[in-house]
Amino acid sequence: MFALVDAVAFYASAEKVFDPSIRKRPVVVLTNNDGCVCAVSPEARKLNVPKFEPYFKLRKFLEQHNVVVRSSNYELYADLSTRMMNVIGRFCDNQYIYSIDESFLQFTGFKSIIDDWHAYGQDIRLAVWRETKLPVGVGFGTTPTLSKAANHAAKKLEGYNGVAVIDDDYSANEILAKMEVTDVWGIGGRLGKKLNMMRIYTALDLKKQNPKYMRKQFSVVVERTIEELNGQVCISWDDVKQPKQEIFSTRSFGERVTDVHDLKSSLSTHCSIVGKKLREQSSMTKQLIIFAHSSPHEDNFYKRSFLYEFPVPTSDSRVLANAVNEVLPQLFHNGVRFYKAGIGAIELVSEQFMQADLFTPTLNNSKLMNSLDSINKVFGKGTIRLASEQQTKSWEMKRDFLSPRYTTRWSDIPKIQC
DNA sequence: TCTGGGGTCCTAGGACCC
DNA sequence: TCTGGGGTCCTAGGACCC
């Protein structure tokens, strides 16, 4: 049995934890640079506030309906996420954290212990609420995709009260019949349209399709999804956790960047981020994509992207930053108002199988990088960083509606007055 | 005044080789 | 009657997720 536990509108709920005055009000949270709406509290959902619409288009509407607007407070969300995950992890010995607010639990050998999954789900919800003041939904299913579907039912369908269980074909069909095909994990809007044309409208319709045939029509992803809906496990974290095949760090700027040094320092920061993520999964990269562009919504869109090949794979942030330095003169163009930049490590290889080059002295210093990671872990991120990362305010992200970092800054800790 | 997120994986199609 | 292969690598764009 699998369970998917996730928070209801996590970012919006996180904003409510330390600010009870907004708990009953509609709340939305914006993405980086206050660009789009990315979290909509249930109260705001009732007003039909769409997700991922640009904020400037919704601003008037949100004001009219007295909706609370907040910038993304990642420091707060990351901390609350950790707390929430710790509570959830107590309920199962096999937890897989899938995103900042979702974790899968895989129950093996629990059958003799747990006879009522509904009650167990309510126990989880109650514990998380009591200890973190975050509302969660719990879906149980015999495959990860079915637990996702159950989770959808738990939170979005009438009469489930936060917990739903799919433990046989009957309960699966009952829930899947009430779900749009695009509510199924892995089926997005585009696929949904094509499926509709084939008269596949509900999740149950999809479940009844022939997986092999659908693989031919679409892809292996659709095939696996259908098998999972039929109770056949295709996604598993049992075996060694799969390392990522590519790692990107990209960001749009708070203010347009026109200065080469600003562009360089932002890219250096991306090098640190990607380097750290590479080391975390014991990978090294052979190739690096380095890109920068102006706004795609502007006329004469400027975009440059380079593929840099390393003679020897690396996970050393400094080596990545050197690559950036090399291409920077070709990337930057005077007069362009840069809107976004980033790097991506592709062609990853495992540290273990790293092939050295007889003729190229390796610049990779993993001891140095490991010490850097350890120091930053203890003393906070950015304690030791590349000199070229030198922060300049101009490209930092815009967050006009930021709440306090209640749990990660001494000055922001809530005070209780007697 | 101007404003539009970030990350990962898959696949079709072109270029090239023998 | 008419007909011309098959594999690999690379890349841009598509699609999905939250």
What are the pLDDT digits (tens) for A309-355?
888 889 999 999 999 999 999 889 898 899 999 999 988 888 876 66
**Residue with CA nearest C1' of nucleotide C11:** A307
Question: Do the two domains A1-161 and A179-241 of this chain adopt the same fold?
Answer: no
Domain boundaries, chain A: 1-161, 179-241, 247-390
Contact residues for A102 (Cβ-Cβ < 8 A; gap 6+): A4, A5, A6
Distance (Å) from CA A129 to C1' B8?
Answer: 32
Q: In what order do the strands lie in the sheet with A37-40?
A: A37-40, A27-30, A68-70
Give residue A415's pLDDT. 84
A115/A161 Cα distance (integer angstroms): 19
Distance (Å) from CA A358 to C1' C5?
Answer: 39
Q: Name the E strands within A50-181.
A: 68-70, 95-99, 102-106, 136-141, 163-165
Q: Is the dihedral of CA A304, A328, A344, A401 positive or negative?
A: negative
Q: What is the pLDDT of residues A345-396, one digit of tens each?
A: 988 888 876 666 666 666 677 788 888 888 888 888 788 888 888 666 667 7
Give residue A378's pLDDT. 86
Distance (Å) from CA A233 to C1' C16?
Answer: 20
Of A56, A61, A60, A62, give the one whose Cα is nearest residue A12.
Answer: A62
Distance (Å) from CA A218 to C1' B15?
Answer: 26
CATH class of the domain whose range is A1-161: alpha beta
What confidence category does residue A62 fall into, taking pLDDT thresholds of 50, 70 and 90? very high
Instruction: Give the architecture (CATH level 2) of A247-390.
Output: 2-Layer Sandwich (3.30)
Range from A84-98, A174-188, A389-403 carrying the lowest mean pLDDT: A389-403
Name all protein residues with C-beta less than 7 A from any atom of nucleic acid chain B.
A 31-33, 35-36, 38, 52, 54-56, 219-221, 242, 244-252, 273, 277, 295, 297-298, 339-340, 342, 344, 397
Read off the pTM: 0.88
Name all protein residues with C-beta less than 7 A from any atom of nucleic acid chain C.
A 10, 38, 52, 99-102, 148, 184-192, 305, 307
The domain over range A179-241 is classified in CATH as 3.40.50.300: no
Range from A72-76, A192-196, A250-254, A363-367 carrying the lowest mean pLDDT: A363-367
Chain B nucleotides covered by protein, CB below 7 Å: 2-12
Q: Name the residue type at position A119.
A: A
Flag whether pLDDT at A119 surpasses 90: yes
Provide the mean pLDDT of chain A.
89
Over residues A126-141, mean pLDDT = 96
